[in-house]
Chain A
Amino acid sequence: MPSRGLTFLVLAFWLLAAFATPPATAADKDTLVIAIDTLGAQVMDPIADTRAPHAHYHAPVWDSLVGFDLERGGIGPGVAERWERPADGKSWTFYLRRGQRFHNGDPVTAHDVKFSLERTMSPESIASGAAALRRAIERIEVVDDLTVRVHTRGVIPHFAASLSRAVFMEGSVMPKKYFEKVGEKGFREKPVGSGPWKFVRNVPGDRIEYEAVDYPHWRGTPQFKRLMLLLVPEQSTRLAMVRTGEASIASLGPEAIKEARAGGMKIVSVPGTMQAVYQFWGLYRPEAKASPLTDVRVREALSLAIDRQQIIDHVMAKQAQWPLPFATFRYSSDMDVARWDDWAKTALRHDPARARKLLADAGHPNGFPLTFWNTALPGTPFMVQIGEAVAGFWEKIGVKVDMKTIEWGAFDPMGRGEQKGLVGTASMYRTAGRPEPAPRYITTFISTGVQHLFGDSQHCPAICQEADRAYEAVVSEKDDARRTAATNRMIETVARSWIAVPIIEGMGYWAVNPKRVGFFKPIPGRHEFGDVAERMPRPEQKPWPN
């Protein structure tokens, strides 16, 4: 029978496959197993991946020059315990903690910081903020072993923040001596950092394994001996793994929260990880002149039509918050949070009667046709459901929405350059959780920004000029109090334009098996696991409150 030979062949393949991939360590009580939807490029090198995957799987190994404010969110001490700017504001001096060391025993010094920043800026780097860093840094000076000074091109008030994983990823500190000894290939195969977890194994497409350092670490000394990040793209499977104990924690979307709770899992919500917004494109352009959207009353009406509480309750399973103005969060710095909290409660209310009146006043009592691009940025697929809800609310006040659901990779290029296909239309968009709003405002509103929603160099109406001035006042201001006032003015200009409007403040969601991990708090604004794993207790150390 041919099947006999075939059986041998199959057995051979099976054995080959089984041994080709070393089996994962069985999930035991000493191993913290986290199932996540992406491991990005899965290359162990901080310059070889973008932000979100970096903060999942690089962060356990590499510390960042600037760290987190763990309680409030935003930036705090990191490898540098403090930093300062001189009066001219054109340089930043970072003072490193004493006694830090890499996993190979080498001390962490200012030379490593200089090397790391220069490597992150190198031509081969695809790190998210490499280009911004190249624009910002003029030169780097090692003052002494524990002091490094970065000279910037002009005043950059938010420079230190960009070196924290609270914002981006450019601050990862790599070991200069080790890298020079083993080269790039050797570094990627056997990476060494100074984080609380040492690299053990990288199995492409499957997992990355780490081992806890055996000494106290400033980020928190791990309570588990091992950490394993599993790549499990399907959400149902991730939840099943947490439920069966094959994984301790998994990332999930808001639509799965109910199911996770029913399965006995605990839900950890990370506040302020993103803000879902809608925005109008190219309204300043001559070809959009006849669009009803050029009337601010129409734009305000479209916001008043939206019942945000319904979206929070039903689309986001109550795991979302009322938003603040565009790209601002309750942990934001450089702004008056209490003032904008009050503003949001009133201005972003649901008032369909007022919406209809505004539409009628603007000459559109029966509504008007509106093209709406519904898309979701990577990592937040629920944006599409939010977009559908928004379209539904607009329909209720008479707007005839032509909704075009489009994959992000196809939509994103439309928003760059001429934006011809987008002029006079609306789209879903997102702002990621960041402590300082100004960098996001340049992208979206300033005439030289990528999206330049208010105007460009050829057509810059009054609001565009006002926003440009407001932004310039923010980024050139060295005094903190005056910069806060300038930021408030910038936020106000954008808020009363109703051109980019927040819908909800989203959260990151984790399902936790309470028999495998104890109670812990996430870092506000960051839904990635890389900086939290070392602070997760064992279940017996800190049981979950009922």
Chain B
Amino acid sequence: MQRYILRRLMQGAVLLVVLAIVVFALARVTGNPADLLLREDATAEDRAHLLKALGLDRPTHQQLLIFLKGAVRGDLGDSIRYRKPAVEVFFERLPNTVGLVSIALVGAMVVAIPLGMLAAVGRGTLVDRAAGAVAVLGIATPSFWLGIVLIYVFSIQLGWLPSARMGTPAHYVLPVITLGAFLVAGMMRLVRSSVLEVLDSEFVKLARIKGLTQTVVLWKHCLRNALIPVVTLFGVFFALLVTGAIVTETVFAWPGVGRLTYEAVIFRDYPLLQAVILLKAIIVLGVNLVVDILYAYLDPRVRYA
């Protein structure tokens, strides 16, 4: 088991180094932050001076070496825009995103699991079709549009909820629904197909032959088994949302890492962009590693493969 974990850690480290180099190169392909900071009438001399002030006057390969050396020590450089360590900027914003995403995920599970169960049990019925329609709608509705509609209805027309920003628990409601709508759709389809598969298995038939009630068969025997892929996906969804809640964070003026990533790209804040992508990659790798270790723990075939 230890060798398995060590192997996975080494794979992760190699991946991070490759990613760091790719991000470093790609960030520089799209432009230079100096061009966005300089005045319209800036001269070549002004540009050179600013590049020096930003530490971007050295040859690219030297910048890469400095970046990699620093990264090994956990120093990913100072944000050009915020004038402080990029890691610090990232961790200032991370709790905001984690809080939002966690609630959205749990909320989505609370809605998606019963809906998926109902759809599976009533396969082919009106309930199943309605649940299917909800799923299609959830996946097809752009978060951007949904967010604006929710603000219009619940903030402007009804005046029940704040339209944006962090603050009280009420501020979480609309962004959580916006993020959760997409999740509910995906999870519900997953639970439905999973439950259908379990319903067809031998142990469920045996449970029924033994005379157990439908409720016990469904909620005790079926659901626990059907939830395994959902729980597995929880980790994946969590990592994806932490890295990808850009639209929701923008619409609701949520100061999270999604918007931070967008700002780093637009502003060509190389150190911040590099730090944000690497740290997010570490989060994704970490979550995947935990899931893999759990798998390996549960299924010895994985660790001996």
Q: Is the CB of B255 within 8 A of A131?
A: no
Known: A3-B109, A41-B82. A21 touches B96 (CB 8 A): yes
Nearest residue (CB) in B for A432 is B40
Q: Which of the listed residues A43, A125, A126, A232 has the most CB atoms from chain B within 10 Å of its own CB?
A: A126
Nearest residue (CB) in B for A241 is B163
Which of these, B96, B152, B167, B253, contacts A231 with CB under 8 Å?
B253
Q: Is B241 an interface residue (CB 8 A)?
A: no
How far is A317 from B63 in the complex, measured between Cα atoms in Å? 48
Q: Is A56 an interface residue (CB 8 A)?
A: no
User: Across chains A and B, which 5 residue pairs bring their CB atoms closest together, nearest first?
Assistant: A17-B99, A205-B255, A443-B41, A131-B46, A10-B102
Output the least CB separation between A430 and chain B (Å): 8
Q: Is B12 an interface residue (CB 8 A)?
A: no
Interface size on A, residues (CB 8 A): 69
Interface size on B, residues (CB 8 A): 65
Q: Which B residues are in CB contact (< 8 Å) with A432?
A: 40
Q: Is A218 an interface residue (CB 8 A)?
A: no
Output the least CB separation between B264 and chain A (Å): 12
Q: Is the CB of B40 within 8 A of A450?
A: yes
Q: Is B268 an interface residue (CB 8 A)?
A: yes
Which of these, B44, B102, B167, contacts A417 with CB under 8 Å?
B44
Output the least CB separation between A497 and chain B (Å): 19
Output the least CB separation between B173 and chain A (Å): 12
Output the least CB separation between A21 and chain B (Å): 5
Q: Is A315 an interface residue (CB 8 A)?
A: no
Q: Which of the listed residues A3, A7, A125, A237 has the most CB atoms from chain B within 10 Å of its own CB?
A: A237
How far is A240 from B148 in the complex, measured between Cα atoms in Å? 9
Output the least CB separation between B34 and chain A (Å): 9
Q: Is the CB of B259 within 8 A of A233?
A: yes
Known: A41-B81, A409-B36. A206 touches B106 (CB 8 A): no
Nearest residue (CB) in A for B99 is A17
Q: Is A157 an interface residue (CB 8 A)?
A: no
Which of these, A129, A240, A413, A442, contacts B31 with CB under 8 Å?
A413
Q: Taking chain B's interface residues, is the majority helix, strand, or loop, or is none over half, making it mixed? A: helix
Q: Which of the listed residues A7, A9, A204 has the most CB atoms from chain B within 10 Å of its own CB?
A: A204
Please provide the chain A residues from 112 to 131 with a CB less than 8 Å away from any CB of chain B in the complex: 123-126, 128-131
Which of these, A48, A131, A233, A442, contacts B83 with CB under 8 Å?
A48
How far is A442 from B42 in the complex, measured between Cα atoms in Å? 10
Which of these, A125, A130, A204, A442, contacts B255 with CB under 8 Å?
A204
Q: Is the CB of B151 within 8 A of A237?
A: yes
Q: Which A residues are in CB contact (< 8 Å) with B105?
A: 10
Q: Which B residues are in CB contact (< 8 Å) with A449?
A: 41
Q: Which B residues are in CB contact (< 8 Å) with A375?
A: none
Q: Is the CB of B167 within 8 A of A240?
A: no
Q: Which of the listed residues A42, A50, A128 has the most CB atoms from chain B within 10 Å of its own CB?
A: A128
Q: Is B182 an interface residue (CB 8 A)?
A: no
Q: Which B residues are in CB contact (< 8 Å) with A263?
A: 156
How far is A51 from B38 in the complex, measured between Cα atoms in Å? 10
Q: Is B172 an interface residue (CB 8 A)?
A: yes
Across chains A and B, the number of contacting residue pairs, with CB separation under 8 Å, is 177
Q: Is the CB of B42 within 8 A of A18?
A: no
Contact pattern, A 412-447, Cβ under 8 Å of B = 1, otherwise 0: 110011000000000000011000000110110000
Q: A131-B45, A230-B253, A240-B151 are known; give 13 further A-B pairs, CB within 8 A.
A: A9-B102, A13-B102, A17-B96, A21-B96, A41-B83, A42-B82, A126-B54, A204-B89, A205-B256, A205-B260, A240-B163, A246-B165, A409-B31
How far is A129 from B39 in the complex, measured between Cα atoms in Å? 7
Q: Is the CB of A237 within 8 A of B95?
A: no
Q: Which A residues are in CB contact (< 8 Å) with B40?
A: 431-432, 440, 443, 450
Contact pattern, B 293-305, Cβ under 8 Å of A = 1, otherwise 0: 0000000000000
Q: Is the CB of A13 within 8 A of B37?
A: no
Please provide the chain A residues from 384 to 424 with a CB less than 8 Å away from any CB of chain B in the complex: 408-410, 412-413, 416-417
Q: Is the CB of B53 within 8 A of A234?
A: no
- Residue contacts A-B, CB under 8 angstroms, 16 given: A3-B106, A9-B102, A13-B102, A21-B255, A40-B81, A131-B45, A134-B49, A205-B255, A205-B260, A206-B166, A230-B253, A237-B163, A237-B164, A240-B156, A409-B31, A431-B40
Output the least CB separation between A380 and chain B (Å): 13
Q: Is A338 an interface residue (CB 8 A)?
A: no
How far is A50 from B49 in the complex, measured between Cα atoms in Å? 15
Known: A23-B166, A205-B260. A14 touches B255 (CB 8 A): no
Known: A128-B39, A230-B253. A6 touches B106 (CB 8 A): yes
Q: Is the CB of A124 within 8 A of B109?
A: no
Contact pattern, B 220-260, Cβ under 8 Å of A = 1, otherwise 0: 00000000000100100000000000000011110110011
Which of these, A205, A230, A450, contacts B43 with CB under 8 Å?
A450
Please provide the chain A residues from 28 to 59 with a CB less than 8 Å away from any CB of chain B in the complex: 40-43, 45, 48, 50-51
Q: Is B100 an interface residue (CB 8 A)?
A: yes
Q: Is the CB of B156 within 8 A of A243?
A: yes
Please provide the chain B residues from 242 to 290 with a CB less than 8 Å away from any CB of chain A in the complex: 250-253, 255-256, 259-260, 266, 268
How far is A232 from B45 in the complex, measured between Cα atoms in Å? 35
Q: Is A132 an interface residue (CB 8 A)?
A: yes
How far is A45 from B155 in the complex, measured between Cα atoms in Å? 36
